Amino acid sequence: MPLVATALLPHAPLLAPHVGRENRRQLRRTLETIAQINAELYALKPSVIVVLTPHGQAPDDSFFVNVAETFSLDLRRFGDLETMVTVRGNPTFAYRLRRAARRHRLPVTLGTNPAADYGVTVPLALLTSIHARVSVIPISMTTLPLRVHEHFGRLLADTTHDQRERIAIIGSMELGHHPSADQTSGARRHEYDRRVVQAIREGQLAPIMTLDAHLVETANTCAQRVLATLSGVLGQDRTHPSQLSYEAPFGVGELAALFPRI
């Protein structure tokens, strides 16, 4: 069964009800878009969710694919004792992905860690309609070049086509991080965010791959390698999002988007 959807979701803990509390009002646009994505994903009926996280435990030179049988999603480190969800893993798909990666000489490490990082936990905790019926495969990004991530994204998309399950891929990320009053770095963060949002709105992630390295570094973003991987997943065809929002009320760019494939 082919890939049914690709999504971009933020992982700010403030989005969680028991962390953000009254601050969530300032993230209303993001939360409304996530609710729409939640509804669309429910209708698309994926049975497997692959989550690309920039905050996992990957070694610098290898993608880390978590093959735990189950995952515990919680936000206790942020003082939230209410958010606790258990989801199933999918070791079978993970092993197939590693075999395919070896054929393409892409570095993939398998490991077991049932405690999901917040880059996985926050997006999944907000997708309340699909917890019970999906298995989850967290994949941590590396420090390898963007082109390697793009290649891995193409491999990931190809691997989904060989599966019987309906699969969705979620890129967990946040854009520019500049909560300080530094006007120079703040302007660069806004420029980085503007160009990423424009590329996504136009349905073509390839331009993100060639953004000026200094601009990306100054933006202090965790998104770039996730975006490079999703550029490989989506390929060269223009794929316009059915849902898209962006806001940065706390100095960090929060973007949510969905690319359905029906």
Residue 147's domain comprises 3-260
Helix segments in 59-145, DSSP class H: 91-103, 118-126
Per residue in 1-54, pLDDT (tens digit) is: 589 999 999 999 999 999 999 999 999 999 999 999 999 999 999 999 999 999
Residue range 199-205: mean pLDDT, rounded: 92
Half-sphere exposure (Cβ direction) of 149: Cα atoms closer than 13 Å: 27
Question: How many Å from the N-terminal Cα to the C-terminal Cα in the chain?
Answer: 11
Predicted local confidence at residue 56, as pLDDT: 81
Cβ-Cβ contacts under 8 Å for 200 (sequence gap 6 or more): 8, 241, 244, 255, 257
- The model's pTM is 0.94
**Residue 224 sits in a domain of what CATH number?**
3.40.830.10
When divided into structural domains, the chain yields a total of: 1
Better-scored residue on pLDDT, 236 or 16: 16
Per residue in 96-141, pLDDT (tens digit) is: 999 999 999 999 999 999 999 999 999 999 998 887 789 999 999 9
